[in-house]
Structure 1
Amino acid sequence: MATKKLTPLIILLLLLSNSLIAREWNFDAILNDRVIGQHNFKIDNSESLSEANFHIEFLFMDIYYKHTSSESWDNGCLIKINSQTNDDGDHFKVTGKLEGKDFKLKVNDNSFQYPNCIMSFSYWDSKILEQSKLLNSQNGELLDVKFVFIKDELMLVRQKKIMTKHYELVATKEGDEKMKIQLWYDQEMNWVGLSSTTPIGDIFYKLL
């Protein structure tokens, strides 16, 4: 009898646990047709974790990049960030949190104050496409951004050709272009791809 009474509760708990399953995006980073590392994203309720680890061999150079960013969110607004980056020997530590009406940020030994509802480059959230400013979690810069819809196009995702929406993101600071990124989302606006131009070639994110 006890088991039967518990059955509805067990079913409810299973349904709740399924609705709270963490979402993950795991990408191979490919440069000039070679896998140079991985960039993984994990979203669990109001917490997100981004981890990238690249090793690039170019001509006579070995280039290393390692980045980790832990972020907390409230209704689409960033309320806390802790990130560490080693950009081939250039080190950045970014910490910040919402305090009252301001988002207070520290990058290494420098302090900044930003508006109270900002987003980072959280590609996994399609609301990013509505933003005019984004926080670079690597170095703490708040950049002006513009998104342009390019076209609907077929794309190979996990061994299947699917129709995607292709957007271009251009980020600037004081009029100077900082980055140009191509983004792809499926028809349900789930993030499925990214590419970015670098001085040594285009990096493409392949969804695993």
Structure 2
Amino acid sequence: MPLPLHRSTLCRVSVAATLVIGSGLAGGRMAQAQAQAQAQTQTQTQTQAPAATPPSAATPSPPPTQTWNFDIRLDGKPIGTHRFEVSGPPDTRTVTSNARMDVKLLGLTVFRYRHQVEERWKGDCLDALKSSTDDDGKPQRVDWRREAAGSAAGTASPPSDCIMSYAYWHPALVQQRRLFNPQTGQIDDVKVERLPDAPIQVSGREVMGARWQLITKPPTGDPQRLTLWLDRSDQRWLGLDARVRGDRLLTYRLP
């Protein structure tokens, strides 16, 4: 998400002032002096120096980039990673994510998943999105812009009003009732419920987390239950749990 550069326009004003100096002397010997003084009257032009240039307004520093590098586990066993990066000011954010998963059995890969997304945001609204997914050999691509209200062929186009993607990093996600799915290009209905707080391991230490349950319902297919973990103190994203096929537990944790 370029920063607007604030520039000051400086005006230099030149003021010319003409100063006429004359002396008048009266009487006796003073007459000659008077004549001489009048003859020697001079006109001097004095130009005021340009105004000092005020210091330029300081350019605001860009907000720090936020990154999450999650380890992905299936029933406690590592199967991949998912990196998220959020950069830029709120009105022009850029969000990128890159997921890699490989599930193996007896040394053989039985499931392979790759997912790359680049999103552009305006404020709290998704403005444009491009994604590429390889879901175990099934390719999917989405190229969507809010102003065009378009999406990948064969997928539902979201309306042109404000909508979010599955932006787990955004505190307002838990207030949403529908989300744009970056893998399918469709809108999923979402029901959000608050769960009791619980501890979670974050980078080797225990943190008290605020938990939210998301029940997502795509236009086609079965609902899915997700548990979103946020830091109770500052609402920073800490983790994610999901029940997947076979009632297996998929988890995102920060190493």
TM range (shorter): 0.7 to 0.9
1:49 aligns with 2:87: no
1:148 aligns with 2:193: yes
1:26-105 to 2 correspondence within 5 Å?
A: 26-45=69-88, 46-58=93-105, 62-99=110-147, 104-105=149-150
CA distance in 1, matches of 2:156, 2:178: 19
Q: Which runs of 5+ in 1 are unaligned?
A: 1-7
Contact persistence 1:92–1:108 (CA under 8 A): no
Contact persistence 2:158–2:187 (CA under 8 A): no
SS in 2 for 1:21: coil
Contact persistence 1:94–1:105 (CA under 8 A): no
Tell me by how many angstroms 1:34 deviates. Answer: 1.3
Tell me by how many angstroms 1:115 deviates. Answer: 3.7
Tell me by how many angstroms 1:58 deviates. Answer: 4.2
Q: Which runs of 5+ in 2 are unaligned?
A: 1-54
CA distance in 2, matches of 1:119, 1:138: 14
Q: Which residue in 2 is equivalent to 1:24?
A: 67
CA deviations on 1:35-94 (whole Å, 9 max, x unpaired) are 111000000111000110100114776210000010000111000000000000111100
Percent of matched pairs sharing the same residue: 27
CA deviations on 1:83-137 (whole Å, 9 max, x unpaired) are 00000011110011121xxx62322455624242110001010111010000110
Q: Which residue in 2 is equivalent to 1:5?
A: none
Q: Which residue in 2 is equivalent to 1:197?
A: 243
Q: State the number of aligned residues.
A: 193
Tell me by how many angstroms 1:143 deviates. Answer: 0.7
Contact persistence 1:23–1:42 (CA under 8 A): yes
More strand by share: 1
Q: Which amino acid letter does the alignment assign opposite residue 63 of structure 2?
A: L
1:107 aligns with 2:152: yes
Larger displacement relative to structure 2 (196-205 or 142-151): 196-205
1:184 aligns with 2:202: no
C-alpha distance 159-171 of structure 1, shift in aligned 2 (>3 A): same
CA distance in 1, matches of 2:231, 2:156: 38
CA distance in 2, matches of 1:111, 1:183: 26
So what's the TM-score if we normalise by structure 1? Answer: 0.85
CA distance in 2, matches of 1:176, 1:63: 20
Structure exhibiting the larger radius of gyration computed from Cα positions: 2
Contact persistence 1:119–1:135 (CA under 8 A): yes
So what's the TM-score if we normalise by structure 2? Answer: 0.70
SS in 2 for 1:105: coil
Q: Which amino acid letter does the alignment assign opposite residue 228 of structure 2?
A: L
SS in 1 for 2:223: strand
1:96-135 to 2 correspondence within 5 Å?
A: 96-99=144-147, 104-108=149-153, 110=155, 112-135=157-180
